[in-house]
Amino acid sequence: MATGEFNLINKFFLSPSTRKEVSLGIGDDCAIVSVPEGKQLAITADTLVDGVHFPSNTSPQDIACKAIAVNLSDLAAMGAEPAWLTLALTLPRVDESWLESFSDSFRKTAEKYNVQLIGGDTTQGPLSITVQAMGFAGPDNIMRRDGARPGDVIYVSGTLGDAAAGLRILQRGQAIDANNAWLVDRLNRPEPRVDLGLKVSAYCKCAIDISDGLAADLGHILEASDCGATVNIDRIPLSHQLVEYSVNRNEVDWEMVLSGGDDYELCLVVAPDNENKLMQIASEISLPLTRVGTIEEHTALNIVDETGAKYLLDRSGYEHFIK
| Footprint on this chain of ligand ADP (rule: CB under 6 A) | 5, 9, 13, 26-29, 87, 89, 117, 119-122
DSSP 26: B
- Report the partner that residue 5 touches, choosing among ligand ADP, Mg ion, none (CB closer than 5 to 8 A by kind): ligand ADP
Nearest residue (CB) to ligand ADP, 9 versus 48 = 9
Q: How far is the CB of 77 from ligand ADP (least distance, A)?
A: 25
Q: How far is the CB of 5 from ligand ADP (least distance, A)?
A: 5
For residue 36, give the nearest of 142, 136, 140 by alpha carbon. 136
Nearest residue (CB) to Mg ion, 118 versus 268 = 118
Residue 145: how many CB atoms within 10 A of its CB?
A: 18
Q: How far is the CB of 101 from ligand ADP (least distance, A)?
A: 15
Q: How far is the CB of 203 from Mg ion (least distance, A)?
A: 42
- Report the partner that residue 29 touches, choosing among ligand ADP, Mg ion, none (CB closer than 5 to 8 A by kind): ligand ADP
Over its C-alpha atoms, the chain yields an Rg (Å, rounded) of: 21
Say what the alpha-carbon torsion angle 12, 13, 15, 19 is, to the nearest 10 degrees: 160
Q: How far is the CB of 136 from ligand ADP (least distance, A)?
A: 21
Q: Are 133 and 118 in contact (CB under 8 A)?
A: no
- Report the partner that residue 119 touches, choosing among ligand ADP, Mg ion, none (CB closer than 5 to 8 A by kind): ligand ADP
- Report the partner that residue 120 touches, choosing among ligand ADP, Mg ion, none (CB closer than 5 to 8 A by kind): ligand ADP
Nearest residue (CB) to Mg ion, 45 versus 224 = 45
Q: How far is the CB of 117 from ligand ADP (least distance, A)?
A: 5
Q: Are 265 and 159 in contact (CB under 8 A)?
A: yes
If DSSP codes are grouped into helix, strand and coil, which group holds residue 144? coil
Q: E strands within 170-242?
A: 206-210, 228-232
Q: Are 138 and 39 in contact (CB under 8 A)?
A: yes
Nearest residue (CB) to ligand ADP, 13 versus 182 = 13
For residue 282, give the nearest of 295, 301, 297, 265 by alpha carbon. 265
List residues binding Mg ion (CB under 5 A).
121
| Edge-to-edge strands, sheet with 128-137 | 40-49, 128-137, 81-91, 116-124
Residue 184: burial class (beta carbons within 10 Å; 0-12, 13-18, 19+): buried
Nearest residue (CB) to ligand ADP, 95 versus 297 = 95
- Report the partner that residue 55 touches, choosing among ligand ADP, Mg ion, none (CB closer than 5 to 8 A by kind): none
Q: How far is the CB of 21 from ligand ADP (least distance, A)?
A: 17
Pairing of strands 228-232, 301-304: parallel
Q: Are 156 and 266 in contact (CB under 8 A)?
A: yes
- Report the partner that residue 246 touches, choosing among Mg ion, ligand ADP, none (CB closer than 5 to 8 A by kind): none
DSSP 21: T
Nearest residue (CB) to ligand ADP, 34 versus 316 = 34
Nearest residue (CB) to ligand ADP, 88 versus 224 = 88
- Report the partner that residue 229 touches, choosing among Mg ion, ligand ADP, none (CB closer than 5 to 8 A by kind): none
